[in-house]
A and B are shown apart, each in its own frame.
Chain A
Amino acid sequence: MAARLWLFPPRILDALTYHLPPAVQWYHLGAIPAILETGVTRVDSMALGSTLLSLWAFTLLGHDALIELPHFLWALLLLPLTRELAGRLGVSRPWAWTCAALAFTTPAVLLQADTALDHLALGVSTLAALLCLLRWLESGRRLHLLVFALASGLMLGYKLSAPLHLGVFWLGAWWVRRGSASPHKPLLEPAPRLLPNLGLAASLSLVLGGYWYLRNLLVHGRPQGNFHHPMFDFSPGSEAGYLGYHLGLLGQNLTDLPSRLLDGEAWFSPDLPFMSGFGPQFFTFGLLGLVWTLVGLREKTARARLAHLPMLCSLALLLQYFWLYATPFSYRLYLFLPPCALAAGFAALEHTGAFRHKGKRLFLAALALGSGLWSITMTALPLTHQPDFMPTFLALPREHRTVANFLPITPAHLPYRFLANAVAADEPLAYVGGEDDWSYVFVDPAWRRRLVHLEDACLETSTPGTQRLAPRCAHRLAAAGVRLLCTCRYTSCAVLEPGSGTLLVPGLYLVPLPGEATHAP
């Protein structure tokens, strides 16, 4: 995984479109403004905590070679967190580490650990917050509440859906507290002392992760920004329609669940299309954890309920997402589930005495080993549409192993290749783009190239088949001192009318500044 991190550039579409470009813009601006000049307007509503980490990773080297390092570290953090969770559920030390290793080698984790996306950060910070909640519920100490607040604050900074996680946590805490009191110390402080501490904790969380919600409130008038996805639409509208829509989502998600858990419908890739990426370990140990938790719902004491809280919260969160959301890629959001389910599964085995019997112990160790090896092997090769090109790419010096050189060669990708290999990185570029256009492909590894975004309307139809740059946009380019213009949009490139500029490669033009002559085409 570390080798992949070093050898390959960021290559997931979402990272090239909206996770990394804001970091480049912040770097050039020297600030994090509320609104960015970009065609991908969703970045002005997203929680960009992960993008901020990417910026820090870039500033470490002044180069994007380790831009995905934060996610790699999140994946590593999964090891002690899962081991701690399993230990808290009563799993003995060697098996708790086995459980942690299986959580770490979950295909979805291995695949996401060398990306610049935000799902792993959300999943692992959710697990961290859950562990801290457990600790606080056990001890009732203010210190543990504040650590929980810190973990929750981090979690809030990665995705706008994170407040849903907090809601589930508090419901879980309420469920535990409703259990009959144990003979030991009470689970929480008396209410008069609890409320000020909760206020302090909430403030701490908001300081860490609340910026994006506050920005959305101030700029867009609502914490979820300008997202109009049903996940963020809580206005009931027509109640019958609302209920029907969400019941449909729930039904679809539940129907798809078995095939998603079996991972059998597509290639393994970080976007986890039509699969869960939870690997054989989830099917082997995680499902047992689920059964153990459901059986444990009969427990009445608060202490017993505490042991089932992580898996129960994960399950409730999963159902909550199922109610709100269904896409081929939705399982990227559920990375909190495998470690909790695995820990519960190992706890079930520990409590049923399976590890005390030598034969069963060996059998379970073989299953764990088989699951881990399978997951590592099947995710070892990064997905590429041009495997033939891999030896060439890997032979390149690091500064040439850029995303522009990794992408398959199509007519629409020629400008990226040309810019990356033939044009000085400090030459600025204007590109025409909209909501789903990637701009990180234009950026050099040291982020020297300045980009100017032009909206679609900048290209006006001239004659059938050709376009021209609208005068107001040409003035913008001239004012910014930009001479290079890319007219490619994802899979096709616009052709400019003759005399607009010199064609360097299809889709890339050298547009003369005022007073400059054009070159012969």
Chain B
Amino acid sequence: MHLERSAPWLCGLGFLCYMTWNLLPGSGDRPPRPLEFLARAEQVLSAKPAPLLVAHLPDGRSVHWALPPPSLLPDHERPVFFLRQDLVGLRDLAAGTVTLDGAACSVHTQGPNYLGLACAGRAVLVLATSDLDELAGLLGAL
């Protein structure tokens, strides 16, 4: 029977067809699949992370935040970070060393539930409450 001789070559033909189809540009704007993959990988690898706020606390612990991104609040220019009170207290944070993307920050305003920081010319707001009423008041005041 022919299948006995030709089976491996049929496999090779199938592989060739599939790869040719995927190595040629698609019917729409789709580039060949490997290029698609490389473009995506390049985008991931070359991406700049969001502002990273790092605090070294007096007790030796370190805490970092990378969220939320600046567009969370109407004031797009000012990164706002929400401090989880179960992780670190606002007073500890103010007493520690804080950096934004490696630049040292200094405290310029402080309230019972927020901290305003200046980090190499950038203003950063840290909201330190998950109480909705307080949060609403703070956001209303922004």
Contacts and interface: CB of A to CB of B under 8 A. Distances in A.
Contacts of A285: 11, 14
A391 to B, nearest CB: 5
Interface of A: 262-267, 280, 283-285, 287-288, 291-292, 295, 345, 348-349, 352-354, 360, 363-364, 367, 370-371, 374, 377-378, 381, 387-392, 395-396, 400, 405, 409, 414, 417-418, 421-424, 427, 483-484, 502, 504-505, 510, 519-521
A359 B5 CA distance: 13
B15 A284 contact: yes
B22 interface: yes
Nearest to A395: B66
Interface stretch (B35-43, B91-99, B102-110, B114-122): B35-43
A288 B11 contact: yes
B37 A381 contact: yes
Contacts of A392: 47, 49-50, 66-67, 69
Main secondary structure of the interface of B (DSSP, over half): helix
Contacts of B60: none
Contacts of B36: 267
A421 B80 CA distance: 11
Contacts of B43: 387-388
B136 A519 contact: yes
Given A280-B19, A388-B48, A395-B66, A364 B8 contact: yes
A349 B132 contact: no
Contacts of A390: 44, 47
Contacts of B59: none
A421 to B, nearest CB: 5
Contact of A292 (B3, B21, B137): B3
A391 B14 contact: no
A364 B11 contact: yes
Given A283-B17, A364-B11, A387 B47 contact: yes
B14 A284 contact: yes
B14 A427 contact: no
A194 to B, nearest CB: 37
B141 to A, nearest CB: 8
Nearest to B85: A424
A352 B44 contact: no
A287 B14 contact: yes
Nearest to B33: A378
A400 B87 CA distance: 13
Given A284-B14, A378-B33, A510-B132, A396 B66 contact: yes
Given A349-B7, A510-B136, A288 B14 contact: yes
B89 interface: no
B29 to A, nearest CB: 12
A283 B14 contact: yes
Contacts of A291: 3, 10
Given A267-B36, A284-B11, A427-B132, A391 B67 contact: no
A69 to B, nearest CB: 25
B17 to A, nearest CB: 6
B72 A371 contact: no
Interface string B50-73: 101000000000000011110111
B88 interface: no
Contacts of B73: 505
11 contacts: A262-B21, A280-B14, A283-B18, A352-B4, A353-B4, A387-B40, A387-B44, A388-B47, A395-B66, A484-B132, A519-B133
A371 B15 contact: yes
Contacts of A292: 3
The 9 lowest CB-CB distance pairs between A and B, nearest first, are A387-B43, A283-B18, A388-B47, A424-B130, A352-B4, A392-B50, A519-B136, A284-B15, A422-B82
A505 B67 CA distance: 16
B112 to A, nearest CB: 17
Given A367-B12, A392-B69, A504-B135, 17 more contacts: A265-B27, A280-B18, A284-B14, A288-B14, A349-B8, A367-B11, A367-B15, A381-B44, A387-B40, A388-B47, A395-B66, A409-B71, A417-B72, A421-B67, A421-B68, A427-B130, A510-B133
Nearest to B25: A264
B44 A519 contact: no
Given A367-B15, A370-B15, A295 B3 contact: yes
B66 A519 contact: no
A427 B134 CA distance: 14
A387 B36 CA distance: 13
Q: Which of B11, B22, B36, B127 has the most CB of A within 10 A?
A: B11
A87 to B, nearest CB: 19
Contacts of B130: 422-424, 427
A283 B72 contact: no
Contact of B10 (A267, A288, A370, A520): A288
Contacts of B14: 280, 283-285, 287-288
A123 B69 CA distance: 40
Contact of B47 (A348, A391, A483): A391
B117 to A, nearest CB: 17
Contacts of B22: 262-264, 280
Nearest to A278: B18
Contacts of B71: 409, 414
